[in-house]
Amino acid sequence: MWWYSDKVSTCVVLFVFAKDHMAAEKKFSAEVRDDNPYSRLMALQRMGVVDDYESIRFKSVAIIGVGGVGSVVAEMLTRCGIGKLLLFDYDKVELANMNRLFFRPEQQGMSKVEAAKQTLEGINPDTQIIPCTYNITTTDVWDTFSADLCMGGIDGRTPIDLLLCCVDNFQARLTVNLACLTYNIPWMESGVAENAVSGHIQLLLPGTSPCYECCPPLVVATGLPEAKRVGVCAASLPTTMGIIAGFLSQNTLKYLLNFGTVSEYVGYDAMNDHFPMISIKANPECRNDTCRSRQAEYAEKVAECGEAAHPLYAQRKAKADRDVKDRLAAQQKAAASAAEWGIVIETQGKDSLAVGGSNGTAEQQQSTSASNNAGGFEYAYSSKQDNDGVANATESDFVSTSEATSVSDLAARLKALK
């Protein structure tokens, strides 16, 4: 196991629990250790990106479809130390899959979930891998599927934290949509186009954001059978799938660990490297009854507790708090930089402005300040040049600020002038 590499040796059974406990703490400690696989992940916490990285140990995620996208997402989350993964797929590994990432030729013929379990447990034995080898679209497994989602949490009694849909057909997406609406499970959908040069990810929060049927693809909306084109072999590129898997995994980490902005929809056009991001509202006239019921529930919650009703409230608040902290740190850094370069920071009064003009002296011209009555900083730049120095400042030497100028930008510009 990963943590056994720390050489906490013991052969006394009574010490095993203590050893595991010590080792687990050591793995998720802030200490930088080359033999600790979590060191670089915990650095996110030390650097203020994530407040509580270790909480990932208690998260459980279901991945539906362990193909070109799902398998890569599973590997990324496993390497990130997620607590539990439930893998759903009934397909087998084929040589035709070798143009994609993750599976190896010697795994040909194995079920995808068993092959994935083998590989993932080899990468990180701390992550619990649950293989679910059945077709979720068949009605006779609905109860099994429901139980796996509702009791698939880290403790085996509560629902999973998030579902990731990485399938290649609409029927499976509609089944996932129904299950997530029924059991109020947040999920993210993903897809890669048949020509392999575009894809997308989308966040679906039951009742809050649109469900899969609120704004369905044309094939789903018209109810036409999803017939694959005869004689057409869908293309696939490991690059496009890896990019979509990366976006999906990143959005998952942000959602689970409350950092950054959790994207509602990100598209990817590989031909032009275009990443459209859009926001879609739930459709009050959605054809799915359960979706409309969830929307009504959410509306009641909003009426009761305002913006705190939103499932992403914790993420958004954490981001806002972190932004304030970062801004304060940037201001302190700029102040320290200003002191280093002989910059005097004033805090009040536009009257103190000494912006160089045509009639100003050299000293005056080399001293410029600007104020910001909206709580910003004022800077006065004083040259450190001696009497023999070139004191003929030009317009380009002047530094001024406006309300739109950030402190860090200003500090950088001042350094460049120096």
Provide the minimum distance between the beta carbon of 217 and Zn ion in the complex, in angstroms, as a whole number. Answer: 13
Query: How does strand 84-88 pair with strand 128-132?
Result: parallel
Phi-psi region of 126 (alpha: psi -120 to 50; beta: other; left: phi over 0): alpha
Considering the complex, state which of residue 54 and residue 213 has its C-beta at the smaller distance from Zn ion.
213
CA–CA separation, 141 and 135 (whole Å): 8
Distance CA 21, CA 255 (A): 28
Which residues touch 202 (CB under 8 Å, ≥6 apart)?
188, 189, 190, 264, 265
Pairing of β 198-204 and β 265-269: antiparallel
Closest CA to 73 of 167, 166, 177, 204: 166
CB of 183 to Zn ion, least distance (A): 15
Report the residue number, 285 or 388, with the smaller CB distance to Zn ion.
285
Q: Give the active site residue among 233, 286, 291, 305.
A: 233
Closest approach of Cβ 191 to Zn ion, in Å? 18
CB nearer to Zn ion: pick between 108 and 171: 171
| Inter-CA distances, 66 with 100, 127, 178, 278, Å | 12, 16, 20, 27
Q: Which residue lies nearer to Zn ion by CB, 129 or 211?
A: 211
Query: What residues contact 82, with CB distance under 8 A and at least 6 apart?
Result: 56, 57, 59, 60, 61, 127, 256
Query: What residues form DSSP beta bridges with 201?
Result: 190, 266
Q: How many CB atoms lie within 10 A of CB 371?
A: 19
φ, ψ of residue 38 to 5 degrees: the values are -100, 0
Q: How far apart are CA 407 and CA 327, in angstroms?
A: 9
Positions that interact with Zn ion (CB under 5 A): 211, 213-214, 286, 288, 291
Angle, vertex CA 79, rays to CA 70 and CA 23, nearest 5? 145
Active site residue 233: yes
- 187-192 and 265-269 as β-strands: parallel, antiparallel, unpaired? unpaired
Give the C-alpha separation, 92 to 94, whole Å.
Answer: 6
Comparing CB distances to Zn ion, the nearer of 36 and 177 is 177
Shortest separation between residue 227's beta carbon and Zn ion, angstroms: 25
Smaller CB separation from Zn ion, 205 or 291: 291
CB of 174 to Zn ion, least distance (A): 11
Contact 285, 297 (CB under 8 A): no
CB of 181 to Zn ion, least distance (A): 8
Shortest distance, CB of residue 207 to Zn ion, whole angstroms? 9
Nearer to Zn ion, 186 or 356 (CB): 186
Supply the residues annotated as catalytic: 233
